[in-house]
Each structure stands twice: as C-alpha cells, then as structure tokens.
Amino acid sequence: MAVRTITTLGAPILRQVAQPVDLTTVASPTFQNLLHDMVETMIAAQGIGLAAPQINVSLQVAIINGQAGPYAIINPRLQKSSRQTELAEEGCLSIPDVFGTVRRPARVTVTYDDEQGRPQSTAATGLLARVMQHEIDHLNGVLFIDKVQQITQGQLP
C-alpha cells in the first residue's frame, strides 16, 4: 500500500470521462491495492473523498469517507436528485488552497458497486450527498470550479 501523488489542475485526465470498472477485476489484488492506496492517499491529504482520476487512474471508482469510515463507490450513477438545492463551500485535493461556493441538490440517490462488486444504493443528504456528487463529477471530467458561484478563498491558477 502506498500514498500516491495527487494529480492537480491542468492534468488532462481530470477533464476526461473515466473508464467503467470491469467487475470481474474487483477481487484482484491489483484492484484491491488500488482501493487501499486511494484510502491512504485520501487520509494523508486530509480529504473526505477521492476519485481515481485524481491519482492519474482512469477508472470509475471513488473513495468516500463516510461516518463508518472510508468506502469505495465503483461505477457510481446518480439515480435521483432533489429539486431542493443547497449552497455550500467546496474545495478539492486537485485544486489546492482554492475554495468556493457550489449549489447542488440537497438529496441524492446513488447506485454503485461496493469493494466486492455487489450492487448498492445510498440515499444521501447533507455533506454525504455533496461529497458523492463532487466525486461523481470527477469521474465525468467535471471539477467544482466548473460549478462554482463564487471563489471564497485562494485563486485559480
């Protein structure tokens, strides 16, 4: 297991749609090591979420630091989102020292496969909903600065 280098703004992979994960590979030591590295990297960077493209891997997988600890969402899909929105500050490990307000749906339902390749569904509100949307955006080549309403700290390069 290792802490990997976080890819920063300007790297082309951050603007690309990541490739779906072949679920037959989820149990492989290589994929499981990737998940462990992602968790270690997120924790070392003091993040609450990390998408594979942020460590230069084009795969549809993200780590979410939930209440029970970190877990993977593989091939996630936003199934439902509320009409009600919330405006809150976001930052990103790939855009260090920059924060801004982003409006997002207040409630979402996300389907995904877990670390064992089993289908899951999560209905999320609050911070969890925001983190899931932020990480799913990463997997689709979208950064929070594309949705920011106002930069509140730092400046874009």
**The domain made up of 12-81+107-143 is a member of CATH 3.90.45.10:** yes
d(CA 135, CA 73): 9
The gap between the terminal CA atoms of the chain, to the nearest Å, is: 32
Q: What is the pLDDT, as a whole number, of residue 48?
A: 97
What residue has token string 């982003």?
102
Return the HEC string of 90-148. EEECCEEEEEEEEEEECEEEEEEECCCCCEEEEEEEHHHHHHHHHHHHHHCCCCHHHCE
| 46-57 tens-digit pLDDT | 999 999 999 999
| 8-28 tens-digit pLDDT | 999 999 999 999 999 999 999
Catalytic sites, residue numbers = 135
pTM of structure: 0.96
Q: What is the pLDDT, as a whole number, of residue 99?
A: 97
| 60-78 tens-digit pLDDT | 999 999 989 999 999 999 9
